[in-house]
Amino acid sequence: MPRMLDVSQDVRAEIGDEEADRLLVGDNAPGSYDCTSCRTPGDCEQERTSTVLFVGEETAVLAFAHATCIPSQVVQVAEDQLQGAVRSITGEEPPHPGASRHAGGPEQAVLGITSGLVLIEGELHPALVVEPTAPIARPGTTGTGRDDFLPLLIEQGFVPISEVSQRPTTQLHGWSVLVAMGQLHAVLQPGTGGGSPVAWWQAHQPLQVTDGWRAAANKSHTVLVFAAPVGSIGQQPREDLLRDALERAAAGGRLVAATMPLAGT
């Protein structure tokens, strides 16, 4: 039975007409799959399904997604980041650094993320702001009465900043921000023991970024990533309010930052 697959012209150009036609008639397409975007089950015999091709310098991985989640497309990924993208496709997501809850705590800590443009030295920079929903305990400890989120990130290479205008100049080695077709998919971190990158944060459904954010990221090929403990930033509806919250967190010694390369477009 022919599958309800969407194969974009970009994907077809990469995999060739013969392979694309085999997919469309159902020869090489799965019946059921886990959506690479929302990670819930899909069935290409029952619903429109997009083909998503992750391409590195030497290898490529074909994945599938609900057409309502993400269109068929080619995602360019550096070769050393491709395995991290594969892990995000398959859902093999490791725990976030220190993502263990306090003993007796009411909830598991989850990393929330907000995108925005930050003005530094007269230039707009694409930024992500990360804030957990609960205190973060160091792995292997109960964490009672202590939040180790910032110390853990500093150990990873994030730097404390006292003013938002203090832009980190050194890129964080092995980390990257994965964006595809103007949607934020994941923040990748180095794998354990020098292995392939894995997802530190991953969207259950890709987050749309603004055209301005995407243009700034494509221009600089980097993203500023700010992080603060729970309760430091909050949900801010406008970029000026987000900037004010960042400044307050920085002045209070509750803000770290890092510069990461952009993976994708």
Where among 76, 92, 119 does a domain terminate?
Answer: 76
Please report whether residue 186 resides in a domain.
Answer: yes
Query: Diameter of the chain by CA atoms?
Result: 62
* One domain for residues 60 and 180: no
Please report whether residue 27 resides in a domain.
Answer: yes
* One domain for residues 186 and 55: no
Domain hosting residue 243, numbered range: 111-264
- Contacts of residue 17, defined as CB under 8 A and 6 or more positions apart, other chains included, come to none
pLDDT at 96: 42
Amino acid at 176: S
* One domain for residues 46 and 169: no
Is residue 250 over pLDDT 90?
Answer: yes
171 forms bridges with which residues in the sheet?
259
* One domain for residues 10 and 61: yes
* One domain for residues 185 and 66: no
Give the integer Cα–Cα distance in Å for 52 and 71: 8
Please report whether residue 88 resides in a domain.
Answer: no
Please report whether residue 184 resides in a domain.
Answer: yes
Structure token digits, residue 1: 């039975």
Does this model's pTM top 0.75? My answer is: no
pLDDT at 91: 44
* One domain for residues 124 and 68: no
Structure token digits, residue 237: 């509806």
* One domain for residues 258 and 140: yes
Please report whether residue 23 resides in a domain.
Answer: yes
* One domain for residues 226 and 116: yes
Q: For residue range 190-214, list pLDDT tens digits in order.
A: 877 766 677 888 877 778 888 899 9
Please report whether residue 98 resides in a domain.
Answer: no
Whose structure tokens read 């930033």?
233
* One domain for residues 238 and 136: yes
pLDDT at 58: 65
Backbone angles phi, psi at 35, to 5 degrees: -60, 130
Is residue 57 over pLDDT 70?
Answer: no
More confident residue, 255 or 59: 255
Please report whether residue 94 resides in a domain.
Answer: no
pLDDT at 188: 87
* One domain for residues 122 and 242: yes
Is residue 78 over pLDDT 60?
Answer: no
Where among 76, 102, 130 does a domain terminate?
Answer: 76
Where among 76, 101, 134 does a domain terminate?
Answer: 76
* One domain for residues 61 and 120: no
* One domain for residues 222 and 117: yes
- Contacts of residue 155, defined as CB under 8 A and 6 or more positions apart, other chains included, come to none
Please report whether residue 45 resides in a domain.
Answer: yes
Q: How many domains does the chain have?
A: 2
